[in-house]
Amino acid sequence: MTTETTKKFNIDAVENAAKTPDTELPWAELGLKQNEFDEIVKVLGRRPTGAELAMYSVMWSEHCSYKSSKNHLRQFGQKVTEEMKKDMLVGIGENAGVTNLGDGWAVTFKIESHNSPSFVEPYQGAATGIGGIVRDIISMGARPVAVMDPLRFGAIDHPDTARVMHGAVAGIGGYGNSLGLPNIGGEMVFDSVYQGNPLVNALAVGVMRHEDIRLANASGKGNKVVLFGARTGGDGIGGASVLASESFDDTKPSKRPAVQVGDPFAEKVLIECCLELFKGSLVEGIQDLGAAGISCATSELASNGDGGMQVELTSVLLRDPTLTPGEILMSESQERMMAVVTPENVKAFEAVMDKWAVEYSWLGEVTDTGRLIITWEGDVIVDVDPRTVAHDGPVYDRPFARPEWQDSVQADTFTGSVQDAGRPSAPAELAAAVTELVASPNMCSKAWITNQYDRYVGGNTSMAFPDDAGVVRVDEESGLGVALATDANGRYTYLDPYHGAQLALAEAYRNVATAGAVPMAVSDCLNFGSPEDPDVMWQLAEAIRGLSDACMVLGIPVTGGNVSLYNQTGTTPIHPSPVVAVLGKLDDVARRTPSGWREDGQAIYLLGTTGAELDGSEWANMRGHLGGQPPKVDLEAERALGEILINASRDGMIDAAHDLSEGGLAAALVESSLRYGVGARIALQDVMDRDGVDLFTALFSESQGRAIVGVPRSEEVRFTDMCTARGFAHTRIGVVDADSGKLEINGVEGLSLDALREAHEGTLPKYFG
Amino acid sequence: MTELPLIGEAVAVAAEPRLAGARIGVVTFPGTLDDRDAARAVRLAGATAVELWHGDTELGDVDAVVIPGGFSYGDYLRAGAIARFAPLMSKIIDAANSDAKLPVLGICNGFQILTESHLLPGSMIKNDHLKFLCRDQVLRVENTNTAWTLDYQAGQEITIPLKNQDGQYIADEKTLDALEAEGRVVFRYVGFNPNGSRRDIAGISNAAGNVVGLMPHPEHAVEPGFGPESLDGIGGSDTDGLGFFTSVLNKIVGGDK
């Protein structure tokens, strides 16, 4: 160690590290394993300095390196056809993938997790989840235009659920609403498997002109490296390595300081400031600072560039002057960006910073050495090949095997089980069952949450919750827009990870098509337990295999996403929860199809066929049963259904469409009626006769590839002709009744819309006030 | 001046040069969110939207000003408290109080800035239920003589989005009584008071009627397909907010009603 007393710290310089090979380093506390530390020593040819150790520990964490999932994730890049590539402008690997929308427009979107921080500190965890994903979108050169939040919490009546839920929802609102980004959808699931490990995922979507696409690389010797935005503080240190890559343990001290603290105002200013930089073509490369902070930004920019980078770390503006070099490198302080600027553009860059009153500091420059060199008052504290930090982390072939319990779980079917006793059949029982379903925690109205989010800001929101997909306009002149939906069903995936993941994709695809949009791209957030558990690793491997296979069939590529592992409480993993986001395109958002009917006398059709598929269903869940096989996946049928819904929307053949998923036909009929407060008269005899199911099954089965649509009388012939020509099952099941104020289903006691609304909307306020 | 084109197309290229000659400024502070939306509303009404920057020391050539919603300066300290000291605000205050009586509309955070600037009395505190609330809100237009409400019928009910966390309007009883007596309560919440505002007040004006502030957002109800959609059956059109902008245009181009 250096002994110069003028230095603020005893700096562990590279020179010193070479001389003191036996110095004990806290690699284990930073989350590294023995073999990983040995590998670092091998790569460097000496022990790492304290600063280098900090960098490697965060960059080689599960969260940043994907070391357990990388070998499996490759399939997303391999199972890709030419058709799938044609609209992909930027693929996996960058901050977010970019898809061509036509007319010179491009769209970028990505979904990420912020699960662990949101359990420790729900408000800040959820808030900074939004902040991080939005910066990923800006880093691509895009203007962010909307956000969505798939959320999964513990049991609705558990005392801790309110803490997490209130905090997360307030955090998403508090941060997102302040950014001027409409929140256009998401999900909310309650299940005790998420009790000690909620899932707070965040999606952002942005748009840009083709020529504005920016990539994260530092090229061009002599170009300047600048850090701008908020100052670097002591928050979030080791967030990626410590928090996201390890399960919680009651015996260790609180990890609260590892959670970042967000400042949405700083983020909003940063967004505008970056967009002005892009407009003036003032940056060569740009990278947001998220997980692993400066360690990640410098090593990724340098390793993606054509040379090296030299940075003086004391130039970093600090919120807390006592931070050590290692802490500065690891800090996950929010609202920061790093950019590469040519010397000619320095003045113009500074003018933009000054206009928006954003702080910045020039840290160093791009070199041609191929090395990432970081100095502290001139002493070299990091001297590495940036690729070894950013890209050449360890990769594990974790052992996996089909769990022993999988067979017995799949054999335990709901029909005939103890929980199935007293299945409703009389009209009054069925009416009570429908009401109970739509009031249940997972099927109830989410308005209590979504009303805390701004869905209007921007003036381009064409559809939002509770419709099937969120729709935003991209081009005000042509009406060009995008539709987005996210879906996952942890119970299905638990029963069968391969097909469960496909079902999540199928549902998101169906939701987007139901809105009238052509599905184009996929982003996924794979939330799983510990990869060190072979059962969980098998779930992950199967889900990725299933998802990548299904993307091939549906012809839409995965353009980005995120893997979140170690989601478990103690040794109990969450249900495997691959959250799948599908993005679709609408040539004119005016053509989008809402989920509710309005016009009296319109015909209501059920598309698709219904089987006796209650395993894993909401009904079985309400009765406390989880076993059997999830609904069958038929991706060709999903594609055919999608084409019908898209064509019908484009050609004005339908006025309403709602997909059938959790809660089956019963939930869909209620939701479509409550959307605009307009009832319907329904008769399901034809469906029951054709598909050989009883009324209960017709209402509560969760068979896939189905949707209900509202068809104007004048379009009925054209619509049914199209379905017939395409050989797709379709049945007229009723008519819209604007006057009755009721949902009347033959064989079910009449349901007044007022009572249904009270049941549907009353649940969340009852539990959360 | 009675007839004005209500242009409802996605993009209104101002059809009438006479209207397009009217220049309406939209102020951007750091943290402003609804500036583009306000500018779009101005264009849809047929006028020319002029970007104004908080740091500017001259107001320039504008016929009216909209202070849009958002979280200027992050609402830090108190909503609108910092923005009120922006160089441009002193120019706006002077112009609003001058003989020319520049029409000024403050929406949401803009309303908060106007009360902080003392162009309007009272203040906004946190909603009584303590949460951010976004909903389609019915308002009654109580005064159709202000620069921003000329095109509405007295007592007309309109539905426009409301979205805020600090929307509870408060003032002392004497001020409230004076506002009522002088007809300066311009908008009142109907059916549901979303934030605990005194006397259901959603918006008010100054004595001259050129300065109007309200919490709900007319600029989010100017285009078919992008406004309120009667989520809970409250009815109404989704372009009810356009009247604000045609009103002021009416005033600028055609003189007083």
In chain A, residues 659-678 whose CB comes closer than 8 Å to chain B: 675-677
Element spanning A603, H or E = strand A603-607
Whether A479 and B10 lie within 8 Å, measured CB to CB: yes
A567 lies in a domain? no
pLDDT at A248: 47
B142 lies in a domain? yes
Q: Which residues pair with A707 in a beta bridge?
A: A607, A659
Q: Is B72 exposed, middle or buried (0-12, 13-18, 19+ CB in 10 A)?
A: buried
A646 to each of A101, A517, A520, A657, A722, how far by Cα in Å? 17, 6, 13, 10, 12
Residue A238's pLDDT band (boundaries 50, 70, 90)?
A: low
Q: CB neighbours (10 Å) of residue A154? A: 23
- Nearest alpha carbon to residue B67 among B48, B88, B47, B94: B88
Whether A178 and B219 lie within 8 Å, measured CB to CB: no
DSSP A575-602: PPEEEEEEEEEES-GGG---SS--STT-
Q: In chain A, what residues touch B220 (CB-CB under 8 Å)?
A: 456-457, 459
Residue A239's pLDDT band (boundaries 50, 70, 90)?
A: low
| Mean pLDDT score across all residues of chain A | 93
Residue A623's pLDDT band (boundaries 50, 70, 90)?
A: very high
A693 lies in a domain? yes
pLDDT at A242: 52
Most confident of A252-261, B174-183, B227-236: B174-183
Domain containing B34 equals 17-254
Task: Name which of A10-24, A404-418, A463-477 the model is least confident about.
Answer: A10-24
Report the alpha-carbon distance of residue A221 to residue A710 in Å, rounded: 62
Q: Is A370 exposed, middle or buried (0-12, 13-18, 19+ CB in 10 A)?
A: middle
3-state secondary structure of A146: strand
Q: How is residue A153 annotated by DSSP? A: E
Q: How is residue A631 annotated by DSSP? A: P
Report the alpha-carbon distance of residue A705 to residue A659 in Å, rounded: 8
B1 lies in a domain? no
Shortest Cα distance, chain B CAs vs residue A522, angstroms? 26
DSSP A711-731: E-GGGHHHHHHHHHHTT--EE
| Mean pLDDT score across all residues of chain B | 90
- What percentage of residues in chain B have a pLDDT greater than 70? 90
Report the alpha-carbon distance of residue A227 to residue A314 in Å, rounded: 12
In this prediction the pTM is: 0.94
Report the alpha-carbon distance of residue A685 to residue A698 in Å, rounded: 9
Identify whether the C-beta of residue A313 lies closer than 8 Å to the C-beta of residue A375.
yes
A1 lies in a domain? no
Q: How is residue B240 annotated by DSSP? A: T
Mean pLDDT of A186-191: 95
Q: Is A186 exposed, middle or buried (0-12, 13-18, 19+ CB in 10 A)?
A: buried
B137 lies in a domain? yes
Identify whether the C-beta of residue A139 lies closer than 8 Å to the C-beta of residue A229.
no
A678 lies in a domain? yes
pLDDT at A430: 98
Q: What is the pLDDT of residues A43-97, one digit of tens each?
A: 999 999 999 998 999 999 988 889 999 999 999 999 999 989 999 988 776 677 8
Mean pLDDT of A378-394: 93
Report the alpha-carbon distance of residue A304 to residue A396 in Å, rounded: 23
Q: How many residues does chain B have?
A: 257
Look up residue A361 and give its amino acid: S
Residue in B with minimal Cα distance to A354: B55
- What percentage of residues in chain A have a pLDDT greater than 90? 84
Q: What is the pLDDT of residues A497-509, one digit of tens each?
A: 999 999 999 999 9
Q: CB neighbours (10 Å) of residue A10? A: 14
- Nearest alpha carbon to residue B175 among B115, B247, B113, B256: B115
β-pairing verdict for B64-67 and B104-107: parallel
Q: In chain B, what residues touch A144 (CB-CB under 8 Å)?
A: none
Q: What is the pLDDT of residues A572-595, one digit of tens each?
A: 999 999 999 999 999 999 999 999
pLDDT at A570: 78
B7 lies in a domain? no
Shortest Cα distance, chain A CAs vs residue B133, angstroms? 5
Is residue B118 annotated as part of the catalytic site, yes or no? no
Between B80 and A9, residue with greater pLDDT:
B80
A618 to each of A165, A191, A212, A423, A609, how far by Cα in Å? 21, 11, 45, 14, 19
Mean pLDDT of B110-137: 96
Name the CA dihedral angle for A420, A421, A426, A428, rounded to a multiple of 10 degrees.
-80
Residue B238's pLDDT band (boundaries 50, 70, 90)?
A: confident
Whether A265 and B73 lie within 8 Å, measured CB to CB: yes
Q: What residues of A act catalytically?
A: 63, 114
- Nearest alpha carbon to residue A677 among A752, A763, A730: A752
Report the alpha-carbon distance of residue A469 to residue A707 in Å, rounded: 14
Q: What is the pLDDT of residues A694-715, one digit of tens each?
A: 999 999 999 999 999 999 999 9
Backbone angles phi, psi at A730, to 5 degrees: -145, 140
* A477 has a chain B CB within 8 A of its CB: yes
In chain A, residues 166-205 whose CB comes closer than 8 Å to chain B: 170, 173-174, 177-180
pLDDT above 50 (res A514): yes
Q: Considering its fold, how many domains does chain A have in total? A: 1
A679 lies in a domain? yes
Report the alpha-carbon distance of residue A366 to residue A522 in Å, rounded: 35
Mutation target to probe the B interface, by most B beta carbons within 10 A, among A456, A460, A592 is A456
Shortest Cα distance, chain A CAs vs residue B248, angstroms? 21
Q: What is the pLDDT of residues A124-149, one digit of tens each?
A: 999 999 999 999 999 999 999 999 99
Q: How is residue B32 annotated by DSSP? A: B
Mean pLDDT of B238-257: 86
CATH number at residue A711: 3.90.650.10
The set of residues, in sequence order, having a beta carbon less than 8 Å from that of B71 and lying 6+ positions away, is: A177, A178, A264, A265, A268, B31, B33, B79, B109
What token pair was written down for A670? 């209620």
pLDDT at A240: 56
A738 lies in a domain? yes
B91 lies in a domain? yes
Report the alpha-carbon distance of residue B213 to residue B66 in Å, rounded: 10
B3 lies in a domain? no
Look up residue A62 and give its amino acid: E
Report the alpha-carbon distance of residue A67 to residue B84 in Å, rounded: 52
- Nearest alpha carbon to residue B104 among B3, B227, B203: B203
pLDDT at A327: 87
Q: What is the pLDDT of residues A591-613, one digit of tens each?
A: 999 999 999 999 999 999 999 99
Task: Name which of A473-487, B15-29, B213-227 the model is least confident about.
Answer: B15-29
Look up residue A260 and give its amino acid: Q
pLDDT at B254: 81
Q: What is the pLDDT of residues A664-678, one digit of tens each?
A: 999 999 999 999 999
Q: What is the pLDDT of residues A708-755, one digit of tens each?
A: 999 999 999 999 999 999 999 999 999 999 999 999 999 999 999 999
pLDDT at A253: 42
B174 lies in a domain? yes
A620 lies in a domain? yes
Element spanning B188, H or E = strand B185-189
Residue A256's pLDDT band (boundaries 50, 70, 90)?
A: very low
Mean pLDDT of A540-550: 98
- Counting Cα atoms < 13 Å in the Cβ hemisphere of A76 gives 26
Identify whether the C-beta of residue A97 lies closer than 8 Å to the C-beta of residue A423.
no
CATH number at residue B126: 3.40.50.880
Q: What is the pLDDT of residues A464-484, one digit of tens each?
A: 999 999 999 999 999 999 999
β-pairing verdict for A105-113 and A98-102: antiparallel
Q: Considering its fold, how many domains does chain B have in total? A: 1
Identify whether the C-beta of residue B250 lies closer than 8 Å to the C-beta of residue B150.
yes
B149 lies in a domain? yes
Q: CB neighbours (10 Å) of residue A677? A: 19
3-state secondary structure A291-336: CCHHHHHHHHHHHHCCCEEEEEHHHCCECCCCCCHHHHHHCCCCCE
A723 to each of A632, A640, A648, A727, B183, how far by Cα in Å? 22, 10, 10, 6, 60
Over the Cα atoms of chain A, what is R_g?
27
Domain containing A715 equals 594-769
- What percentage of residues in chain A have a pLDDT greater than 70? 95
* A752 has a chain B CB within 8 A of its CB: no
DSSP A367-406: ESSS-EEEEETTEEEEEE-HHHHHT------------TTH
Q: What are the CB-based long-range contacts (under 8 Å, 24+) for B194-197?
A: B194/B127, B194/B133, B194/B135, B194/B137, B194/B162, B194/B167, B195/B127, B195/B128, B195/B129, B195/B133, B195/B164, B195/B167, B195/B168, B195/B169, B196/B127, B196/B128, B196/B129, B196/B168, B197/B167, B197/B168, B197/B169, B197/B170
Residues of B with CB under 8 A from a CB of A: 10-11, 30-31, 33-34, 36-37, 40, 70-71, 73-76, 131-135, 161, 163, 165, 217, 219-220, 222-223, 225-226, 229-233
DSSP A677-695: T-EEEE--HHHHHHHT--H
- Nearest alpha carbon to residue A95 among A323, A287, A375, A301: A287
| ipTM, interface predicted TM-score of the complex | 0.91
A599 lies in a domain? yes
3-state secondary structure of A111: strand
- Nearest alpha carbon to residue A752 among A656, A670, A664, A685: A670
Residue A257's pLDDT band (boundaries 50, 70, 90)?
A: low
Mutual orientation of helices A122-139 and A159-179 as an angle, nearest 10°?
A: 40
* A747 has a chain B CB within 8 A of its CB: no
Q: How many residues does chain A have?
A: 769
Q: What is the pLDDT of residues B53-101, one digit of tens each?
A: 999 999 999 999 999 999 999 999 899 999 999 999 999 999 999 999 9
